[in-house]
Amino acid sequence: MERITIEKHFLNQQGNNELPSDLINILYDINLAGKMIRKQVVINGLTDQTGDANVTNASGESVQKLDIYANDSIKSILTAHGRVAIMASEEEEDIIPCDPSAEYVILFDPLDGSSNIDVNVSVGTIFSIYKVNKDGKTPTEKTLRKGSEQVAAGYIIYGSSVVMVYTAGDGVFGFTYDPSLGEFFLSHDRITIPNKASYFSVNEGLTPHMHPGTKSVLEELKSDDPENGYPLSARYVGSLVADFHRNLIKGGIYLYPGTSKSPNGKLRLMYEANPLAFICEQAGGKASTGSQRILDIEPTDVHQRIPLIIGNAELVDLVESFEKTAVL
């Protein structure tokens, strides 16, 4: 089987789509940071980077030592080459101004699925890239943009194999890491989400606090209705990247809805929802809050949370229709 390195792929894309070389080099830098994080993830438990760091992040959640390692790795790689104007991380309270002459803003969730780090379940790194908003006066104004303005987005999943998936607005590509060579190779060329959905992914423990529309659509997905392809199978590990990736490859829908306890759900718009929404739409799927397209949301805060319904386009429409008609 012919092997295409990630570097060769980027060079091809540069030629075909005139992707700017700075953007390609940033993607390549993120790929390198992913190798560093992978190296630490696979020996978790054997080093002093294991367990809780005994601090909380900007969202008030407990931070793991590996979250900090991943955050520092990405920051050090991305600031080394002067290609990044501003960074923002789920693990950092403040936006991080970098090189004022650079053109790109990068937002990232350094390690998604922290609660799974110490139990050998897949975790990942999610990233979102914009051109800097030159009209903005403050770093926040230069950073806060609608998801539809992303120029690239992706994730690296540290699973039974390590895979990097990205889009730069011309299809979705996935690369698998060969640890014997230290290199990523193209393994998923132009990913499209299957039309037939097999899975639904949701934390059903939240059901008592869900809105009536969410409860009823989940009943629909679990109903005995073979003609419409139901019931779907349930799959949920509690790492967004892993649950999203399964549905992207196998066909399905992921929901982290707003609830009476957390009206905006749990996931972050800028670090999680927007990048995955960009990928999902590029793969032929949809992403919604339940009432609005994720990529159309005007952000107000870099750390804001948002309900996320993402995956198979028909099922996202179905969830929207249930949420709109439900009697509250």
Site residues (CB under 6 A) for ligand AHG? 61, 90, 109, 112-114, 203, 238-240, 266
Q: How far apart are CA 88 and CA 75, in angstroms?
A: 10
Nearer to ligand AHG by C-beta: 13 or 201? 201
- Omega within 30 of 0 (cis) for the link into 231: yes
What letter represents residue 148's amino acid?
A: S
Whether residue 268 contacts residue 303, with contact meaning beta carbons closer than 8 Å, is answered with yes
Nearer to ligand AHG by C-beta: 187 or 247? 247
CB of residue 171 vs Mn ion: minimum separation in angstroms?
A: 25
Q: How far apart are CA 46 and CA 44, in angstroms?
A: 6
Whether residue 59 contacts residue 268, with contact meaning beta carbons closer than 8 Å, is answered with yes
Q: How far apart are CA 95 and CA 109, in angstroms?
A: 13
CB of residue 230 vs ligand AHG: minimum separation in angstroms?
A: 23
Nearer to ligand AHG by C-beta: 266 or 286? 266
Nearer to ligand AHG by C-beta: 28 or 236? 236
CB of residue 50 vs ligand AHG: minimum separation in angstroms?
A: 16
What part of residues 89-108 is at the interface with Mn ion (CB under 5 A)? 90
Partner from ligand AHG, Mn ion, none contacting 320, C-beta within 5 to 8 A by type: none
Using a 10 angstrom Cβ sphere, with 0-12 exposed, 13-18 middle and 19 or more buried, the burial of residue 251 is buried
Binding segment for Mn ion (CB under 5 A), chosen from 87-95, 150-158, 205-213, 296-304, is 87-95
Partner from ligand AHG, Mn ion, none contacting 239, C-beta within 5 to 8 A by type: ligand AHG
Binding segment for Mn ion (CB under 5 A), chosen from 83-91, 170-178, 183-191, 193-201, is 83-91
Whether residue 241 contacts residue 123, with contact meaning beta carbons closer than 8 Å, is answered with yes
- DSSP secondary structure code for residue 270 in this structure: I
Nearer to ligand AHG by C-beta: 10 or 155? 155
Partner from Mn ion, ligand AHG, none contacting 281, C-beta within 5 to 8 A by type: none
Task: Show the CA angle centred on residue 11, arms to residues 9 and 12, nearest 5°.
Answer: 65
Q: Is 112 in the site for Mn ion (CB under 5 A)?
A: yes
CB of residue 123 vs ligand AHG: minimum separation in angstroms?
A: 8
Whether residue 40 contacts residue 47, with contact meaning beta carbons closer than 8 Å, is answered with yes
What angle, 0 to 180 degrees and rounded to 10, lies between the N-to-C axes of helices 240-250 and 274-282? 10
Whether residue 190 contacts residue 204, with contact meaning beta carbons closer than 8 Å, is answered with no
Q: How far apart are CA 194 and CA 312, in angstroms?
A: 8
Nearer to ligand AHG by C-beta: 171 or 238? 238
CB of residue 315 vs ligand AHG: minimum separation in angstroms?
A: 18
Structure tokens at 182: 């230290």
Partner from ligand AHG, Mn ion, none contacting 238, C-beta within 5 to 8 A by type: ligand AHG
Residue 301: its H or E element: none
Which residues 6+ apart lie within 8 Å of 39 measured at CB?
A: none
Using Cβ positions, the residue closest to Mn ion within the complex turns out to be: 112
What part of residues 20-59 is at the interface with Mn ion (CB under 5 A)? none
Q: Is 109 in the site for Mn ion (CB under 5 A)?
A: yes
Nearer to ligand AHG by C-beta: 177 or 244? 244
Give the binding site for Mn ion (CB under 5 A). 90, 109, 111-112
